[in-house]
């Protein structure tokens, strides 16, 4: 009899090879199967997960304890739980999956889950996680199951907001929440930012609310700027809901993880960013800021690793323009104190006028953090932190750790005096060699894609032409068969016969077209033979040129031809 033990043993056969797959980096293409570093992230596992985009949910359903009376079945369930947790622990090592796990596990279980470490193959190492899960009270297990349902990519939308179906709650910020939505069943997923004016974070007094709303309107103003850049998040529309008194902003859904998550991941794995990856990310940030500063006159004012999203192949997208502001044409300086202090420039910390060079300081901090995996200025004491920022007092990147160009670029961006600090165009000139190499790689990639597209276009056109000719030949062959039938009927009624096969036979045109379409002579001959056998079957009486009046024979031939034509 098929027992629960047999079922779990079969599922385990799937989970074990799932956990034992090859490693590759999270930023590599899904076709890669191997990595130079075996501690890289699991892209080969991700390729299997993304076949349905539902792997975390599918495996997560297997971790929950199942009550069973048989000890053998209980052991099978326990082993399955360990294998499922191992697969989930490997998937957690991919940065873009981490937000799902933080919502799925309770804090206590999450701590034990983290303590197992990255890429631990020993199945017994996961016993502590299973034991912790099985000891949780039923209320916590029920809450985990509800949280797990939120990761189900195939579930029905939970609600609708002004025609947008809500599929997932992505997170909550100071002013409201962000949801994963879709306009219609066939549309693509978007991000919907919900801002509640009744939220205490907006303000308690009328004056505070007015100030906060002005900051929110700043983001809406930038939405109207119609930003179009591959490294800047795309905004689509804004609208209000009279019932809930909320403001909504519809924007691109960025698949990936913040740069900050990559810092945490590498630090946990005791790895570093390779320099080519650093330049790939930094160049994209520079290109985006050049577009914002020089073409749109916009200063972001809150550039942090949390506002820089990394997608597939480390594609950079700058998000969250909640603190952004347009530069006034009559004033190159701004005075309001905004932004995250860890990445704030000295003039901001001192509450002095500042310009777009505030963003240059921020990317200098980010470049430093890509090298050291920690910000250049940090202190638990705010006064000490401000003092370090004003004096540009940081531990420099050691020579030999990265190239001199990386170290020099950090030094120039983190210049405390704004007049001596380069603007974004001057930063681009500092790394001109790197940018030229980046553009060359883009051009090579573009040429390769254009060639691939041209081959695909020619292949499609060829198949379309062949399909069109085949359809035309089929139609002509059908008409020719109908004409042959009519001729036979007329001959039978007139009492005389003529040769069916003639030089003016319309079917010959069909076979001639087939000859042109096919390069194989045997192909066209086989078509001719098949059609000849259809009208002149072996052993049948052939209608010859004559003026005889054997109408019974003609009628007999006609009936045979009709039967075989129908067959």
Do 397 and 469 have their domain in common?
no
In this structure, the number of other CB atoms found within 10 A of the CB of residue 101 comes to: 19
Q: Is residue 424 in some structural domain?
A: yes
Interval 35-76: pLDDT, tens: 434 344 344 444 444 444 567 888 888 888 877 656 677 888
CATH of the domain at 345: 1.10.510.10
Residue found by looking up tokens 């202090």 in the block: 341
Q: Are strands 246-252 and 189-196 parallel, antiparallel or unpaired?
A: antiparallel
Please say which residue of 403, 430, 457 terminates a domain: 430
110 with 140, same domain: the answer is yes
If asked whether residues 417 and 455 sit together in one domain, one would say no
Q: Which of 26, 302, 320, 359 is catalytic?
A: 302
Q: Under a CB-based contact definition with an 8 Å cutoff, are residues 85 and 63 in contact?
A: yes
Q: 230 and 370: one domain?
A: no
Residues 424 and 450 in one domain: no
Binding residues: 193
371 falls in which pLDDT band (50, 70, 90)?
Answer: very high
What residues contact 10, with CB distance under 8 A and at least 6 apart? none
The answer to whether residues 456 and 509 belong to one domain is yes
418 and 277 share one domain: yes
* Residue 547 domain flag: yes
Q: Answer with the one of 149, 169, 185 that is the final residue of a domain.
A: 149
**What ranges make up the beta strands (E) of 121-269?**
159-161, 164-172, 176-182, 189-196, 235-241, 246-252, 257-258
Task: Report residue 156's pLDDT band, with 50, 70 and 90 as the boundaries.
Answer: confident
Tell me how far CA of residue 188 lies from CA of 142, 252, 256, in angstroms.
Answer: 31, 9, 16
Pair 300, 422 in one domain: yes
Within 13 Å of residue 252, how many CA atoms lie on the same side as its CB? 19
DSSP letters spanning 451-508: HHHHHHHHHHHHHHHHHHHHHHHHHHHHHHHHHHHHHHHHHHHHT-B--S--TT-THH
Q: Are residues 313 and 227 in the same domain?
A: no
Active site annotation includes 505: no
The reply to whether 85 falls in a domain is yes
pLDDT at 380: 84
Which residue segment(s) compose the domain that 19 sits in? 4-149
231-260: string of b/e by CB count within 10 Å (b at 16+)?
bbbbbeebeeeeeeebbbbbbbbbebbbbb
- Choose the final residue of a domain: 149, 171, 206: 149
Would you list which residues are annotated within the binding site for ATP? 193
For the cut 90, the answer to whether the pLDDT of residue 187 exceeds it is no
pLDDT in tens, 499-521: 544 555 555 655 565 555 555 55
279 and 413 belong to one structural domain: yes
My answer on whether 419 and 275 are in the same domain is yes
Q: Do 245 and 381 sit in the same domain of this protein?
A: no
Sequence-distant (6+) residues with CB within 8 A of 556 are 541
CA distances from 307 to 236, 254, 321, 363 (A): 19, 11, 9, 12
User: Based on the structure, what is the number of domains in the chain?
Assistant: 4
């Amino acid at each position: 009899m098929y027992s629960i033990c047999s079922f779990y043993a079969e599922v385990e056969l799937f989970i074990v090879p799932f956990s034992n797959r090859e490693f590759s980096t999270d930023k590599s293409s899904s076709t890669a199967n191997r990595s130079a570093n075996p501690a890289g992230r699991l892209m080969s596992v991700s390729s299997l997960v993304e076949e349905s985009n539902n792997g975390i949910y599918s495996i997560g359903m297997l971790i929950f304890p199942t009550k069973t009376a048989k000890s053998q079945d209980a052991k099978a369930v326990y082993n399955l739980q360990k294998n499922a947790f191992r697969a989930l622990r490997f998937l957690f090592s991919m940065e873009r999956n981490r937000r799902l796990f933080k919502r799925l596990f309770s804090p206590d279980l999450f701590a034990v889950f983290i303590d197992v470490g990255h890429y631990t193959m020993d199945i017994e190492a996961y016993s502590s996680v299973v034991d912790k899960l099985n000891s949780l009270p039923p209320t916590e297990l029920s809450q985990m199951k509800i949280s797990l349902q939120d990761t189900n990519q195939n579930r029905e939308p939970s609600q609708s907001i002004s025609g947008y179906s809500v599929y997932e709650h992505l997170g909550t910020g100071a002013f409201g929440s962000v949801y994963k939505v879709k306009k219609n069943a066939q549309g693509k997923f978007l991000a919907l930012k919900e801002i509640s004016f009744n939220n205490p974070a907006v303000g308690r007094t009328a004056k505070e609310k007015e100030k906060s709303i002005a900051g929110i309107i700043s983001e809406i103003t930038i939405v109207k700027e119609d930003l179009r850049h591959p490294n800047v998040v795309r905004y689509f529309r804004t609208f209000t809901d009279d019932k809930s008194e909320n403001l909504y902003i519809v924007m691109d859904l960025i698949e990936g993880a913040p740069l900050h998550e990559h810092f945490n991941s590498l630090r946990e794995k005791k790895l570093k960013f390779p320099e080519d990856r650093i330049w790939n990310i930094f160049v994209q940030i520079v290109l985006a800021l050049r577009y914002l500063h020089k073409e749109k006159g916009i200063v972001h004012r809150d550039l942090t690793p949390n506002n820089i999203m990394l997608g597939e192949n480390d594609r950079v997208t700058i998000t969250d323009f909640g603190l952004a502001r347009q530069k006034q044409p009559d004033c190159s300086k701004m005075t309001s104190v905004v932004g995250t202090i860890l990445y704030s420039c000295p003039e901001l910390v001192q509450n002095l006028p500042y310009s777009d060079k505030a963003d240059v300081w921020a990317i200098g901090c980010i470049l430093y953090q890509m090298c050291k995996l920690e910000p250049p200025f940090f202190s638990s004491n705010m006064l000490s932190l401000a003092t370090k920022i004003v004096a540009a007092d940081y531990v420099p990147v050691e020579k030999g750790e990265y190239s001199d160009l990386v170290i020099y670029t950090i030094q120039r961006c983190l210049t405390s005096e704004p007049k001596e600090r380069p603007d974004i165009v001057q930063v681009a000139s500092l790394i001109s060699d790197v940018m030229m190499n980046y553009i060359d790689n883009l051009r090579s990639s573009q040429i390769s894609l254009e060639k691939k597209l041209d081959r695909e276009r020619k292949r499609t056109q060829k198949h379309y032409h062949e399909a069109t000719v085949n359809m035309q030949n089929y139609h002509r062959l059908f008409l020719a068969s109908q004409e042959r039938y009519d001729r036979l009927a007329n001959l039978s009624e007139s009492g005389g016969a003529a040769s069916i096969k003639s030089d003016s036979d319309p079917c010959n045109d069909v076979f001639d077209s087939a000859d042109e379409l096919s390069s194989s002579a045997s192909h066209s001959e086989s078509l001719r033979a098949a059609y000849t056998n259809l009208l002149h079957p072996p052993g049948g009486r052939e209608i010859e040129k004559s003026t005889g009046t054997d109408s019974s024979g003609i009628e007999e031939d006609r009936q045979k031809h009709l039967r075989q034509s129908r067959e």
